[in-house]
Amino acid sequence: MSTATLSQLNLPLYERIRIDIQARLVEQGWDPDLPIPTEQMLAQEYQVSIGTIRKAIDRLVQEGMLYKAQGRGTFIKQPDFKNSLLRFFRFRNHEGKQAVPTGMVKSIRKVPPTPAINKHLQIDEGMALIELQRLRIVENKVVLSEQIWLPERLFSDLLRFEPLEFGNLLYPFYYQHCGQFISTAKETLSFTSEVEDSDLNARKGDMLIKIERLAYNLENRPVEYRISLGRPENFKYEVKIS
Amino acid sequence: MSTATLSQLNLPLYERIRIDIQARLVEQGWDPDLPIPTEQMLAQEYQVSIGTIRKAIDRLVQEGMLYKAQGRGTFIKQPDFKNSLLRFFRFRNHEGKQAVPTGMVKSIRKVPPTPAINKHLQIDEGMALIELQRLRIVENKVVLSEQIWLPERLFSDLLRFEPLEFGNLLYPFYYQHCGQFISTAKETLSFTSEVEDSDLNARKGDMLIKIERLAYNLENRPVEYRISLGRPENFKYEVKIS
DNA sequence: TAGTGGTCTAGACCACGCT
DNA sequence: GCGTGGTCTAGACCACTAA
A242 contacts B184? CB cut-off 8 A? yes
| Fold matches, B13-76 and B81-234 | no
> A225 burial class (0-12, 13-18, 19+ CB within 10 angstroms)?
buried
- Give the model's pLDDT for residue A64: 87
Q: Say which CATH topology domain B81-234 has.
A: Chorismate lyase (3.40.1410)
Is A80 an 8 Å CB contact of chain B? yes
Nearest nucleotide from residue B49 CA, by C1' atom: C9
Strands annotated E in A4-140 = 66-69, 73-76, 91-92, 98-99, 102-111, 129-138
Is A4 an 8 Å CB contact of chain B? no
Distance, in Å, from the CA atom of A85 to the CA atom of A32, rounded to the nearest integer, reads 25
Q: What is the pTM of this model?
A: 0.81
- A27-31, A110-114, B79-83, B117-121, range with the lowest pLDDT: B79-83
- Give the model's pLDDT for residue B226: 96
Using the predicted structure, report yes or no on whether residue B5 has a pLDDT greater than 70: no
- Give the model's pLDDT for residue A122: 97
Work out if B10's Cβ lies within 7 angstroms of strand C. Answer: no
Is A79 an 8 Å CB contact of chain B? yes
Is A192 an 8 Å CB contact of chain B? no
**Residue–nucleotide distance: A69 CA to D18 C1' (Å):** 12
- As a whole number, mean pLDDT of residues A27-39 equals 87
Q: Which nucleotides of D are covered by protein (CB under 7 A)?
A: 3-12, 15-18
Does residue A142 or residue B27 have the better pLDDT?
A142
Using the predicted structure, report yes or no on whether residue A177 has a pLDDT greater than 60: yes
Determine contact, residues B129/B152, Cβ cutoff 8 Å.
Answer: yes
Q: Say which CATH topology domain A13-76 has.
A: Arc Repressor Mutant, subunit A (1.10.10)
> B112 burial class (0-12, 13-18, 19+ CB within 10 angstroms)?
exposed
Q: What are the structural domain ranges in chain B?
A: 13-76, 81-234
- As a whole number, mean pLDDT of residues A28-45 equals 89
- Give the model's pLDDT for residue B51: 92
- A23-27, A169-173, A175-179, B57-61, range with the lowest pLDDT: A23-27
Does residue B182 or residue A85 have the better pLDDT?
B182
Residue A134 binned pLDDT confidence (cut-offs 50, 70, 90): very high
B235 contacts A190? CB cut-off 8 A? yes
**Residues 6+ away with beta carbon under 8 Å from A61:** A67, A68, A74
